[in-house]
Amino acid sequence: MHVGIIGVGLMGHGIARNVLSRGGFALSFLDHPGNQPVDEIVSLGAVACATPAEVAAMSDVVILCVTGSPQVEAIVAGDQGVATALRQNAVIVDCSTALPESTLRMAEIVRAAGGDYLDAPMTRTARHAHEGTLNLLVGGATDTLERVRPVLSTFTEDVAHVGPLSHGHRLKLLHNYVSVGFMTLLAEAAAQSADAGVDPAVFVDVLASGGGASVALERLAPFITEGDREGLPFFVSNAQKDIDYYRAMSEQAGAKQTVADGVSQALADAVADGHGQAYVPELCALFKNSSS
């Protein structure tokens, strides 16, 4: 089985390396300026391609690991997109965080080209991608998932089949709303605590021993106490994108989104101030600076 990957960024690089080194699969990838350095995967046998169509023409499984729906749509349905050169019965595995409505449209295009589609967004971080312990939330047909499971198992700890097509992306947006929402709230509290002169270690200890104990606190605590942002290498701009995708999904469903609007505004302000490429833990400092 030949695997293609489009998006060799912070997450995709670890996926590519594990597909090669743990799975022993042949791998092609899209040569793109947004990639992480590819020397390691090339040394393991990966082959660079100039267009998404070229990746598709070589691959039985194509993994998409890009920012969001606009990028996925260009890769799938563009002039040199994967749908123009897809192998019959090839499977597109979309690991991006995307809008469910867009996912359904892209799946129809892929089906018309003779392929199958799974939405399989990731949870966890780039460290887990490199360790091969990501979790996937997979939407789509059971038989399609089973066909590609040997590939997915090379870079995952858990592959959860969460329902029909688009339910993976729907649950990922719900997951990220809760996760990013918690961290944004915590960052505001940490900033206010710092402005008041509270010892950062005491602040963390008090939350950790009470109702504030959470994965969000574990991710942000290294920055709060030591200024170490690497616990969560996730751009503020991507966090804002995910929250706005959640808001779009909620609006379409007629769901309440008052809290989501507030989280979005807090992140949008940071992006507007030029901090879109900051990591989410740095919000603890950015919110402090904006309030002092």
The predicted structure's pLDDT at residue 292: 47
Say yes or no: 30 and 114 in one domain: yes
The model's pTM is: 0.91
**pLDDT tens digit string along 179-236?**
999 999 999 999 999 999 999 999 999 999 999 999 999 999 999 999 999 989 999 9
Say yes or no: 155 and 270 in one domain: no
Say yes or no: 156 and 174 in one domain: no
Residue/partner pairs of 251-254 with CB below 8 Å, 24 or more apart:
252/101
In the block, tokens 């900051």 appear at 278
Q: What percent of the chain has pLDDT over 90?
A: 96
In the block, tokens 């887990």 appear at 128
Mean pLDDT of 155-182: 98
Instruction: Tally the domains of the chain.
Output: 2
Tokens of 86: 């897809």
Say yes or no: 83 and 220 in one domain: no
Say yes or no: 12 and 157 in one domain: yes
Out of 139, 163, 187, a domain closes at: 163
Say yes or no: 42 and 152 in one domain: yes
For residue 30, CA distances in Å to 5, 66, 81, 149, 158 come to 7, 11, 11, 22, 26
Say yes or no: 198 and 83 in one domain: no
Closest to 89 in 3D by CA, of 136, 148, 169: 148
* Domain containing residue 137: 2-163
**pLDDT tens digit string along 110-122?**
999 999 999 999 9
Out of 163, 179, 213, a domain closes at: 163
The predicted structure's pLDDT at residue 291: 43
**pLDDT tens digit string along 24-63?**
999 999 999 999 999 999 999 999 999 999 999 999 999 9
CATH number assigned to the domain comprising residue 99: 3.40.50.720
In the block, tokens 């729906």 appear at 69
CATH number assigned to the domain comprising residue 254: 1.10.1040.10
Out of 129, 163, 197, a domain closes at: 163
